Amino acid sequence: MRLSTLTSLGLLLPLARVYACDDHSHGGHGHGHSAPKPPLHPPSRPLEWGDINIIHTTDSHGWLLGHQKTVFPEPNYSADLGDFASFVSHMKEIADEKRVDLILVDSGDLHDGTGITDGFPPGGVDAHDANELVKMLPYDVMAIGNHELYIYDNALDMHQNFAPALNGRYLTSNVNITITGDDGKPLDVPIGERFVKFKTKHGRKITSLGVLFDFTDNDKNTTVQKVADMVKEQWFEDAIQDEPDLFLLVGHMPVSRDNWPLVFNAVRAVHPTTPIIILGGHTHIRDCVQLDNRSMALESGRYMETVGWMSAKLDQNKCTDAIQFSRRYLDTNRVTYEYHTRKNDNKFDTSLGEKIRNGLEALSARFNLNNIFGTAPQDYFLQSVPYPSNNSLLSLYVDDVVPTALRINNTESSQPALFILNSGSLRFDLYNGPFTNNDQFTLVPFADSFRFISNISLSHATAAFNALNNAGISERRQETGDPAARHYDTIKGYERGDVDRIFNNWLQRMDRETDVQRRDMESLTLGYVTNDSCPGIGDDIPHSPIPFFETPEFIASNPPTGDDITPDTLIDFVYIDFIEADFLEILNGLQTGKNYTLNDTKQYSPLLANAVLGVYAQEKWN
């Protein structure tokens, strides 16, 4: 929706009954999930159904337990995977009543994000157990994401154990894995399938592909072919030769400012008027574009906060007239699900939903996700408060959490230290109350190690930190309109999987562009306020925007102080290994006295990044 249409939103419509937890509770679950105490508004209007209807998920990153905190906007997203399974089952029943097709699609990134995927015991494989529950859902098509490729064992697990369960509909059009063939020699094969052709329940022919953006940080023995090269392959030309009733292009690639037009144009060159639906992902935003009047492309957010809906009324004569599409971004909670399925609480849960919920509870118990490290005394936020500030999570983390936890577990050095971190290593807000094992995985899911260089002058360390952030500022000034064409020299980079900058820019626009009238409406809770380029209003429920404050790419702890501390004081320069190569390059560019290499670095502590918050909470919050 454009800014000019904000005042014509459902703001002027009466918000129907507001549900509190007593109206919609489905029992206390072992993982702590229950209907939220704050009231939730129901959707503003029914969904628009067509001949083809799609429920879309993407970038779930393990958020299968639902968002369990009571501070908004978290209650908006409080449904778990069992609730979602029940929702899908009821929506399929409605589709049958209407005699139309309903397709369930996912666009990748099942790995990395919460304890339910990342909390496996030693010897396990990330997300393997959680994916056993995902496989119970009746997905028609799923595509691979970049987070399935950072570790070879994860990719192999998807090839051997996950893809077969989709019966040829786990799509990896431009992603291969090297395995050992029957003859004992290396064999390069698609992780899933390159494409699939199938018929819907009502006989409509669909050709579907699953495309990954031009990702470069995949593990050895996996291969990501550039999209521009993929569309020139003979198999691709053969796959799109026959005309279906619909091309369903699914993939882990944002629908704006990336390479979907390459795939779209290749199809259009053969089939100028065939309906095309694109379901993308990766940048964690709600977005929608139309590349022509017979297509629509949808991206449905992140972390199971959003379920995307799209419908299309297909013409029978394959004419050139515009197709009538609709799209909606659904907040994932029981109130939303019950409203759209016309089911009250007593009739909403299905046997499949209960089975998946029981599986989540068992997995949560097995991974010890409810273990409480301590009780956080207040809320700490990533971007909705200024940095530095007393309720900034970045301030808490770099000034207190990391120094405290690493000193407790530091076996290498006792010199004064300066700690440097990339702000993107933190993934979520930290809320007042019990801080659990699952919260720890949610906030910092990556097992990065802490490295250091000893005997660096405080002045050189400070200069290196400033240079890192200045380089990041320079990058922002030089950004083009095409994120896929950029290369970040000092941070992880778009091609290597970083989407923080794109997601944060989206949050910032949302905060700045929303009018004052909407922001001040007491009837609206905090949430996403989507402004995409498709017609009509996309958000299912009107919200007030989440406040946003810019944060630096890199953050540093308070420098050592004392009467004996000068700019020439030699300190330990501690950093996270994720930024090691960039850090060494910057450090060497600032001075000529020594050329620092990996041989000059050491492990600072055996403690990994995904454990520091738990150590800190045990020390400070008990």
Give 561-577 pLDDT, tens digit per residue: 888 899 999 999 999 99
- What confidence category does residue 471 fall into, taking pLDDT thresholds of 50, 70 and 90? low
pLDDT at residue 517 in the model: 67
Q: Is residue 504 part of a domain?
A: no
249 and 389, same domain (yes or no)? no
Whether residue 439 is contained in a domain is answered as yes
Residues 80 and 123 in one domain: yes
- Does 514 fall in a domain? no
Do residue 294 and residue 262 come from a single domain? yes
Q: CB 93: neighbour CB atoms within 10 A? A: 15
Phi and psi torsions of 147, nearest 5°: -75, -10
Residue 548, pLDDT above cutoff 50: yes
331 occurs within a structural domain: yes
As a 3-state breakdown, the chain gives helix, strand, coil percent values, each rounded to 5, of: 35, 20, 45
For residues 292 and 435, state if they share a domain.
Answer: no
Per residue in 276-286, pLDDT (tens digit) is 999 999 999 99
- Same domain as 579, residue 453: yes
The answer on 381 and 321 residing in a single domain is no
For residue 487, is pLDDT > 80?
Answer: no
Given a cut of 70, is residue 32 above it in pLDDT? no
Ranking 65-69, 312-316, 574-578 by mean pLDDT, the lowest is 312-316
pLDDT reported for residue 562? 86
Cα–Cα–Cα angle for 373, 361, 94, nearest 5°?
135
- Residue carrying the six token digits 């431009």: 174
Q: Clarify whether residues 246 and 323 are in a common domain.
A: yes
Report how many domains make up the chain: 2
Tell me the pLDDT band of 442, cut-offs 50, 70 and 90: very high
Among residues 368, 389, 405, the one where a domain terminates is 368
In this prediction, residues 445-462 reach a mean pLDDT of 91
Boundary residue ending a domain (368, 383, 406)? 368
Q: Which amino acid is at 294?
A: R
What was the pLDDT predicted at 37? Answer: 60
Percent of the chain with pLDDT strictly greater than 90 = 78
Domain assignment present for 12: no
Judge contact between 365 and 359, C-beta under 8 A. Answer: no
Task: Report which of residues 519 and 399 the model is more confident about.
Answer: 399
Among 4-18, 351-365, 444-458, the minimum mean pLDDT is found in 4-18
pLDDT in tens, 325-352: 999 999 999 999 999 999 988 899 999 9
86-125 pLDDT tens trace: 999 999 999 999 999 999 999 999 999 999 999 999 999 9
State the Cα–Cα distance between residues 88 and 252, nearest whole angstrom.
22
Angstrom distances, CA of residue 611 to CA of 146, 437, 445, 604:
24, 9, 9, 14
Q: Is 76 in contact with 40 (CB distance < 8 Å)?
A: yes
Is residue 517 in a domain?
A: no
List the CATH number of the domain containing 257. 3.60.21.10
356 and 385 housed in the same domain: no
Which CATH number covers residue 406? 3.90.780.10
Specify whether 341 is located in the same domain as 473: no
Per-residue pLDDT at 15: 34
| 483 or 288, which is more confident | 288
Helix axes of 351-366 and 81-98: crossing angle, nearest 10 degrees: 160
Same domain (yes/no): 352, 393: no
In this structure, the answer to whether residues 277 and 238 fall within a common structural domain is yes
601 closest CA partner among 617, 616, 579, 568: 579
Given 333, 368, 403, which residue is the final one in a domain? 368
Q: What is the pLDDT of residue 490?
A: 31
Which residues form the domain of 484? Answer: 372-491+553-620
Has residue 477 got a pLDDT over 90?
no
pLDDT higher than 60, residue 377: yes
Spell out a b/e string for 39-78, using b for 16 or more CB atoms within 10 Å of the CB, else e. Answer: ebbbbbeebbbbbbbbbbbbbbbbbbbbbbbebbbbbbbb
In a domain, residue 81? The reply is yes
The b/e string for 345-373 (b: 16+ C-beta within 10 A; e otherwise) is: eeebbbebbeebbebbbebbeebebbebb
pTM score, whole prediction: 0.90
What are the helix (H) ranges across 53-204?
A: 81-98, 115-118, 128-134, 152-157
Give residue 38's pLDDT.
73
Residue 11 lies in a domain: no
pLDDT on residue 446: 82
pLDDT in tens, 224-267: 999 999 999 999 999 999 999 999 999 999 999 899 999 999 99
If asked whether residues 55 and 189 sit together in one domain, one would say yes
How are beta strands 295-300 and 286-289 bridged, if at all? antiparallel
